[in-house]
Amino acid sequence: MSTVRIRIDGEALDVPAGISVAAAIARLPRPFRRSVKGQARAPFCGMGICFECRVRIDGVAQQRACMAVVREGMQVATDG
Amino acid sequence: MAEPFNIVVVGAGPAGLAAAEAALSNGARVAWLDAQATAGGQVWRKDLAHGWPRDAQNVIERVTQHANATWMPQTQVISAESGQLLLQDPSRAWRITYDALILATGARELLLPFPGWTLPGVTGAGGLQALAKQGWPLAGRRVVIAGSGPLLLAAAATAKRHGARVLGIYEQANKATVQRFARKLWHWPGKALQAASLRAQLAGIPYRYGSIVARAIGDGALQSIEVDGPHGVERIACDQLAVGYGLVPNVELAHWLGCAMQNEGAHPYLTVDATQRTSVANVYAAGEVCGIGGRDCAWLEGRIAGLAATGASIDGSVLRKQRHARAFAAALREHFALDPYIYDLPDLDTLICRCEDVPLHALDHHDNARSAKLATRCGMGACQGRVCGTALAELGRFPRSGLRPPLFPARLATLGELDSPCSQGSFS
């Protein structure tokens, strides 16, 4: 399977092409985001409803990681 | 300038696919859109490692490649007004018009609160399936599947296929009821075969009746769960808990369009006639949004809607099959009715609104969604109350409030396309 190189919070990661950004972040031991009161959160509904997995992708905030697909050179920022 | 289409289909699951195919076969110019990057919906979601189910792949290829079809992936309807839809994808916002609109917006999972449900590692049951199909790493992970209904078997099979160690499947319904349901399955031979195939794939994995996940425990991420079953409380160490209590129709767009609805339990679904027409002129609906009916029902209703919307005649045999498929859904509902004990699981400190971190005790003095929202921010976050509003309705606290545009969080540039955010309805 071909791979693409993305960066998650600056860390380079080679992942299988076509996987979701959520699946890429799950390869690292970090939460996706902090809730308004600071709790660690990660994907919950898996289908774009709950917004628990949102991250910044290539500078655009509030993107649902479960619905985005990795691309070569993609920069992902979690606030975990 | 809005781009005109004869038929616009919202949703690319079985209902949307069947509707698009039927409309295309009658010569219509069809736009079909879905929030996901790939067609198939939830039940036919493409698995990166294993592809689409065979039935799905053929029809998806036929519809996608049709000269009169315009496929709009990663696209959501942000607003609808006077025969136009305002759409947004990751890079732009634009408008389209339709002669007829077919709503095939499907369903989401019923996700109910319990202590620890916000921990990373806890997902929906269909949710884990969706994540795994798009590469979520499960190899060697200890996974527990829980909640209610046949979806749990499908979720367990997907997790196992992706290398998970499935420790058990915990069904809330009791043994006698599930067995009564199993004895009726011969009425639907396709379903009986599917169930038998799933059970064979899951040989060796414990399946427990009358068992409810009462608590998830962990420091920053899931470490174990407590399952309350017929033989007391059992603590199970695990890495991932997938828990879903059934499905709820996605009615937000239909609600905004003014389509008449009924309730099944605490949750609204669309009222349609025998040809899938809603109460609003030129708006049709098919599949789960018309009440949870399953894949076969969605496919048949999509076909009926696509034919009706293009003025074609509908074969009586399709209508008969659709009624038979709906009867299966009714049997499911009856036998997998939720144990009210589930509604008592949240503690006073359990967060109900995950977006705004609103605990149960903060909602104590509110008897409607608006009052709770104004005082506590419950339902004001990014999910727009899709999770907490649905849960609170199921728990019998108060009904969901209707959504107004933007129907999903939108970029400012998209909102700039709205004529007037207050031009329809009132803020409530």
Quote the ipTM score. Answer: 0.98
From the list A36, A40, A45, the residue facing B108 with the nearest CB is A45
pLDDT recorded at residue B67: 97
Both B239 and B256 in one domain: the answer is no
CB of A78 within 8 Å of a chain B CB? The answer is no
Q: Which residues of A touch B130 (CB under 8 A)?
A: 46-47, 66
Q: What is the CA radius of gyration of chain B?
A: 21
How many CB atoms within 10 Å of residue B179? 12
From the list A50, A54, A67, the residue facing B36 with the nearest CB is A67
- Note the helical H segments in B213-315: 252-257, 295-309
B427 assigned to some structural domain = no
Q: Give, in order, the Cα–Cα distances in Å from A48 to each of A4, A43, B6, B99, B223.
A: 23, 9, 28, 29, 25
Q: Give, in order, the Cα–Cα distances in Å from B379 to each of B213, B304, B423.
A: 25, 36, 23
- In chain A, which residue's Cα lies nearest the Cα of B385? A50
Q: What is the CA radius of gyration of chain A?
A: 12
Both B241 and B115 in one domain: the answer is yes
Looking at CA atoms only, how far is residue A75 from chain B in angstroms? 15
Q: What is the pTM of this model?
A: 0.95
For residues B134 and B114, give the distance between their C-alpha atoms in angstroms, rounded to a whole number: 27
Query: B93-103 and B3-10 as β-strands: parallel, antiparallel, unpaired?
Result: parallel
Q: Which tokens go with B398?
A: 């108060």
Domain CATH number, residue B86: 3.50.50.60
Please give the average per-residue pLDDT across A17-24, as a whole number.
Answer: 98
Both B127 and B100 in one domain: the answer is no
Phi, psi of B331 (to 5 degrees): -65, -40
pLDDT recorded at residue B423: 43
Both B21 and B78 in one domain: the answer is yes
CB of A59 within 8 Å of a chain B CB? The answer is no
Both B124 and B272 in one domain: the answer is no
For residues B158 and B154, give the distance between their C-alpha atoms in angstroms, rounded to a whole number: 6
For residues B335 and A24, give the distance between their C-alpha atoms in angstroms, rounded to a whole number: 39
Both B228 and B115 in one domain: the answer is yes
CA B53-B56-B57 angle, to 5 degrees, is: 85
Intra-chain end-to-end CA distance of chain A, in Å? 29
Both B74 and B179 in one domain: the answer is no
B326 assigned to some structural domain = no
Both B258 and B228 in one domain: the answer is no
B383 assigned to some structural domain = yes
Query: B261-264 and B267-270 as β-strands: parallel, antiparallel, unpaired?
Result: antiparallel
B144 assigned to some structural domain = yes
Burial of B113-152, coded b for 16+ CB within 10 Å and e otherwise, reads bbbbbbbbbbbbbbbbbbbbbbbbbbeebbbbbbbbbbbb
Both B253 and B104 in one domain: the answer is yes
**Interface contacts (A, B; CB < 8 Å):** 119
Q: Judge: A46–B126 Cβ closer than 8 Å, yes or no.
A: yes
Both B233 and B202 in one domain: the answer is yes
CB of A4 within 8 Å of a chain B CB? The answer is no
For residues B162 and B144, give the distance between their C-alpha atoms in angstroms, rounded to a whole number: 14
**Which residues touch B42 (CB under 8 Å, ≥6 apart)?**
A47, B13, B106, B107, B126, B130
pLDDT tens by residue, chain B, 428 residues = 799 999 999 999 999 999 999 999 999 999 999 999 999 999 999 999 999 998 899 999 999 999 999 999 999 999 998 889 999 999 899 999 999 999 999 999 999 999 999 999 999 999 999 999 999 999 999 999 999 999 999 999 999 999 999 999 999 999 999 999 999 999 989 889 989 999 999 999 999 999 999 999 999 999 999 999 999 999 999 999 999 999 999 999 999 999 999 999 999 999 999 999 999 999 999 999 999 999 999 999 999 999 999 999 999 999 999 999 999 988 889 999 999 999 999 999 999 999 999 999 999 999 999 999 999 999 999 999 999 999 999 999 999 887 889 999 998 889 887 765 444 433 33
Q: Judge: A23–B136 Cβ closer than 8 Å, yes or no.
A: yes
CB of A61 within 8 Å of a chain B CB? The answer is no
Best B74, B350, B354 member to test A by mutation, with max A CBs in 10 Å, is B354
Domains of chain B: total = 3
Q: Which domain holds residue B273?
A: 3-108+248-314
DSSP secondary-structure letter at B278? -
For residues B239 and B222, give the distance between their C-alpha atoms in angstroms, rounded to a whole number: 6
B283 assigned to some structural domain = yes
Report whether B40 contacts B13 (CB < 8 A): yes
pLDDT recorded at residue B420: 52
Q: Which residues of B touch A35 (CB under 8 A)?
A: 118, 354-355, 357
Report whether B106 contacts B41 (CB < 8 A): yes
Q: Which tokens go with B80?
A: 């609808």
Both B179 and B271 in one domain: the answer is no
Q: Judge: B137–A23 Cβ closer than 8 Å, yes or no.
A: yes
Looking at CA atoms only, how far is residue B226 from chain A in angstroms? 19
Residue B179 half-sphere exposure, CB side, CA atoms within 13 Å? 7
Residue A35 predicted with pLDDT over 50 = yes
Looking at CA atoms only, how far is residue A40 from chain B in angstroms? 6
In the block, residue with structure tokens 């998209």: B414
pLDDT recorded at residue B282: 97
Query: What are the beta bridge partners of residue B207?
Result: B169
**Could you write out the DSSP letters of every residue in A2-56?**
-EEEEEETTEEEEEETT-BHHHHHTTSSS-SEE-TTS-EE---SSSSSS-TTEEE
Best B105, B131, B145 member to test A by mutation, with max A CBs in 10 Å, is B131
Q: Which tokens go with A53?
A: 């997995």
Both B117 and B235 in one domain: the answer is yes
Interface of A with B in 22-51 (CB under 8 A): 22-24, 26-27, 31-32, 35-37, 39-51
Under DSSP, is residue B412 helix (H, G, I), strand (E, B) or coil? helix
pLDDT recorded at residue A80: 65
**Could you write out the DSSP letters of every residue in B25-77?**
HTT--EEEE-SSSSSSTTTTPPBTTTBS-HHHHHHHHHHHH-TTEEEETT-EE
Q: Judge: A15–B382 Cβ closer than 8 Å, yes or no.
A: no
**Which residues touch B40 (CB under 8 Å, ≥6 apart)?**
B12, B13, B17, B46, B52, B56, B60
B263 assigned to some structural domain = yes
Looking at CA atoms only, how far is residue A76 from chain B in angstroms? 15
DSSP secondary-structure letter at B280? S
pLDDT recorded at residue B425: 39
B55 assigned to some structural domain = yes
Picking from B214, B245, B276, the residue at the C-terminal end of a domain is B245
Q: Judge: B122–A22 Cβ closer than 8 Å, yes or no.
A: no
B320 assigned to some structural domain = no
